[in-house]
Amino acid sequence: MNLLVIGATGRTGSEIVAEASGRGHDVTGVATSSDTIEDVRVYPDDELPELLADADVAIDFTVPSASHEYAALAAEAGVPYVVGTTGFDEDGLDALRAASESTPVLKASNFARGVQALLRVVEAGAEALPDYDIELTETHHNGKRDAPSGTAKTLLDVIDSAREDALDRVHGREGEHEREDSEVGVHVRRAGNVRGEHEVLLADNDEVLTLTHRAESRRVFAAGAVDAAEWLLGREAGWYDFEDVL
């Protein structure tokens, strides 16, 4: 298929270009500037409307402030849209949902299959241990802009839905503060080139259960995103997630 990778010069986008080219897709890249990645031509994003006219599916790994505008252009062109970008506010999410009324939109905060499994295991753990304290820690490379990560927010949503009592998200801790049972602590680290690490810790006074996922390479996100693009081709307009692909 003709695949448009938006954010093709980025850490993840360049892996997606390599993965999709390796699978035999015709790949075109888009970024804010022109470039060449893996012999694939990358065009500046002001050429997006013309490029979408020839695309079967677009994959977007950019920044939320640009991504929802790109999604609107894809919707206008009727091109299925895979969104890996994270950090959207409610307005950005509304814009993506509006795009999904006229084209299929698949959004996932994490395209690693292991993270999808982690979500199910965390849900089971939170349900099975209803009185245990829960703390979440995520670590990413020093170039990541949004915090906590999209995956951390998805994990917190899963924990929320598994617990009957509403949990208060406490971001970091400082000073004198007694831990309340209703808290879930959220801790964010940014350092080096860490691809992405998420740990959920459940504990009472006598035992500790830790559930951890670590991405060893960005290839795992690229493979998942290209799987999603292949799956999305030919679907009806609507809102999809990576779970649908799996």
Ligand X SMILES: NC(=O)c1ccc[n+]([C@@H]2O[C@H](COP(=O)([O-])OP(=O)(O)OC[C@H]3O[C@@H](n4cnc5c(N)ncnc54)[C@H](OP(=O)(O)O)[C@@H]3O)[C@@H](O)[C@H]2O)c1
Could you list the residues that contact ligand X (CB under 6 A)?
7-13, 31-33, 45, 61-63, 66, 84-87, 108-111, 143, 146, 221
Q: Which amino acid is at 23?
A: R
Q: How far is the CB of 181 from ligand X (least distance, A)?
A: 32
Q: Residue 123, class by beta-carbon neighbours within 10 Å (0-12 exposed, 13-18 middle, 19+ buried)?
A: middle
CA 96 – CA 106 distance, rounded (Å): 10
Residues 138, 231, 242: CA angle, nearest 5 degrees: 25
Which CA distances in Å does 134 have to 30, 171, 184, 189?
A: 41, 13, 5, 18
Residue with nearest beta carbon to ligand X: 10
Query: CB-side exposure of 198: number of CA atoms within 13 Å?
Result: 23
Q: How far is the CB of 5 from ligand X (least distance, A)?
A: 9
Q: Nearer Cβ to ligand X, position 84 or 125?
A: 84
Q: Which of 68, 140, 153, 213 is an active site residue?
A: 140
Q: Nearer Cβ to ligand X, position 5 or 184?
A: 5
Q: How far is the CB of 219 from ligand X (least distance, A)?
A: 11
Q: Nearer Cβ to ligand X, position 115 or 162?
A: 115
Q: How far is the CB of 119 from ligand X (least distance, A)?
A: 13
Which CA distances in Å does 94 have to 45, 54, 89, 215?
A: 22, 26, 9, 29
Strand 2-6 to strand 208-214: parallel, antiparallel, or no bridges (unpaired)? unpaired
Q: Nearer Cβ to ligand X, position 10 or 104?
A: 10
Is 213 designated active site?
A: no
Is 144 designated active site?
A: yes
Q: What amino acid positions are annotated as catalytic residues?
A: 140, 144
